[in-house]
Structure 1
């Protein structure tokens, strides 16, 4: 049953709302526009706030759905987080779009909030503290995510879940490697 859950989690991640919404509403292939990324941020730049919100919510729903499904089947927190990691992997490397997907942020946010709503103030506070220094939504958000494993560890004292959370965050950093390299150039 867990293996089926893992496969379905990856396939749920493959539902690319950025591609689908821009194709349906704007009759365009977002992969050929802007940054070429199918995520909410590129769509927002190209088509405005409504497109950003629709795609962000769709992608966030994928992460939340994977967590809620695991809870329904009473899987452990570690299994829930592995399912979330696979949904993010499906979003970043979707077989449906020749392994060229988004960056995984929206899927992570939806999933981690469904996993534990306590992370909402952690993300907001971390972002609020980091943004004035970094002047970048992406980097302030990625930085804020670093606080999540520590806060959740202090709440539950669960090393395995904390290690998986750190692994997920590393995966997000890898997905943003080009952005990070660009930002660090002198």
Structure 2
């Protein structure tokens, strides 16, 4: 029963859209109706500047970190922590309190993963730099660097369950971007 409420709380926490809050505070507008219509940090930065990007990114990252930290306090395994993070990211991507229109879940994913294993900071940065040299864009290398975290579970945790759940989480985030498969195969000279 406690586990059910943990997952429900994780989803509801994901519904807190910092991009929406920042856009209301800075411009009294709904970020989901502006720019790319995405409630994430990248759109916030494009529309309202660097401070909006920073506050949105860290706000959304803290959601993921908080859910993982709470699960750890409750004594849950890494697999359950990842499921909690999956629900938090699902709440961010498809928030019931915001008519199912949210962000892409990347910031929350990063915050949660780093809380699970701080070494993911270096894995994400190193993988991003490597893939950026190949693709010369931000979106695909960013997603591939997060995918590197999933593979890392096979070595850091030696857990197929953690790897499988992390891969499901990653697949959800990739699907939220609506990027054709060919973009992962072809080198791109600019971003989508």
| TM-score between the two structures when normalised by the length of structure 1 | 0.94
What SS does structure 2 have at the residue aligned with 1:36?
A: coil
Taking the aligned partners of 1:85 and 1:10, their CA distance within structure 2 comes to: 8
Tell me if structure 1 keeps the 8 A contact 2:105–2:173: yes
Specify every segment of 5 or more residues in structure 1 that has no aligned partner in the other structure, as ranges.
none
Structure-2 change in CA distance of 1:182 and 1:101 (3 Å): farther
Taking the aligned partners of 1:78 and 1:22, their CA distance within structure 2 comes to: 35
Q: State the Cα distance separating 1:181 from its structure 2 match.
A: 6.5
Runs of 4+ in structure 1 over 4 Å off: 181-186
In structure 2, what is the equivalent of residue 96 of structure 1?
Answer: 97
1:73 and 2:100 matched: no
Q: State the Cα distance separating 1:151 from its structure 2 match.
A: 1.8
Structure-2 change in CA distance of 1:90 and 1:147 (3 Å): same
From the two aligned structures, give the one with the greater helix fraction.
1
In structure 2, what is the equivalent of residue 51 of structure 1?
Answer: 52
1:132 and 2:133 matched: yes
> Quick check: 6-15 or 21-30, which moved more?
21-30
How large is the RMSD of aligned CA atoms in angstroms?
1.7
Q: State the Cα distance separating 1:41 from its structure 2 match.
A: 0.5
In structure 1, what is the equivalent of residue 153 of structure 2?
Answer: 152
Taking the aligned partners of 2:183 and 2:149, their CA distance within structure 1 comes to: 23
In structure 2, what is the equivalent of residue 19 of structure 1?
Answer: 20
Instruction: Report how many residues are paired.
Output: 185
1:94-116 CA-to-partner distances (Å, cap 9, x unmatched) read 01110011000001000000111
